[in-house]
Amino acid sequence: MRKLEDLKIKVYSDGAGLEDFRNLSKVPYIQGFTTNPSLMRKANVTDYLSFVKEVLPIVSGKSISFEVVCDDFKGMRDQAMKLASYGKNVYVKIPITNTKAISSIPLIDDLTHHAVNVNVTAILTLEQVEAVAKVLEGGAPAIVSVFAGRIADTGIDPIPLMKAAKKILQDVKNAELLWASTREILNIIQADEAGCAIITVPPDILKKASLLGYDLAALSLDTVKQFCNDAASSGLKL
For residue 231, being part of any structural domain is answered with no
Pairing mode of beta strands 142-146, 175-179 = parallel
Q: Which residues contact 85 (CB under 8 A, 6 or more apart)?
A: none
For residue 215, being part of any structural domain is answered with no
Amino acid identity at 198: I
For residue 126, being part of any structural domain is answered with yes
Q: What's the structural domain count of the chain?
A: 1
Q: Which residues pair with 144 in a beta bridge?
A: 120, 177
For residue 29, being part of any structural domain is answered with yes
Q: How far is CA 128 from the centre of its chain?
A: 18
Report how far residue 85's alpha carbon sits from residue 49's, in angstroms, rounded to the nearest whole number.
Answer: 12
For residue 221, being part of any structural domain is answered with no
For residue 104, being part of any structural domain is answered with yes
Amino acid identity at 152: A
Do the beta carbons of residue 150 and residue 120 sit within 8 Å?
no
Q: Which of 176, 134, 182 is nearest to 158 (CA)?
A: 182
Q: Residue-wise over 181-209: b if at least 16 C-beta within 10 A, else e?
A: bbeebebbbbbbebbbbbbbbebebbeeb
CATH number of 84's domain: 3.20.20.70
Do the beta carbons of residue 31 and residue 10 sit within 8 Å?
yes
pLDDT in tens, the chain (238 residues): 667 778 999 999 999 999 999 999 999 999 999 999 999 999 999 999 999 999 999 999 999 999 999 999 999 999 999 999 999 999 999 999 999 999 999 999 999 999 999 999 999 999 999 999 999 999 999 999 999 999 999 999 999 999 999 999 999 999 999 999 999 999 999 999 999 999 999 999 999 988 998 999 999 999 999 999 999 999 999 9
Phi, psi dihedral angles at 97 (to 5 degrees):
-140, 170
Residue 107 buriedness (CB in 10 A; 0-12 / 13-18 / 19+): buried
Phi, psi dihedral angles at 32 (to 5 degrees):
-175, 180
Phi, psi dihedral angles at 11 (to 5 degrees):
-100, 120
For residue 225, being part of any structural domain is answered with no
Amino acid identity at 18: L
For residue 226, being part of any structural domain is answered with no
pTM of the entire structure? 0.95
Pairing mode of beta strands 142-146, 30-34 = unpaired
Category of 166 on φ-ψ map: left (φ > 0), alpha (ψ -120 to 50) or beta: alpha
- Identify each DSSP E strand in 25-80 by its residue range: 30-34, 63-67
Domain around 76: 4-210
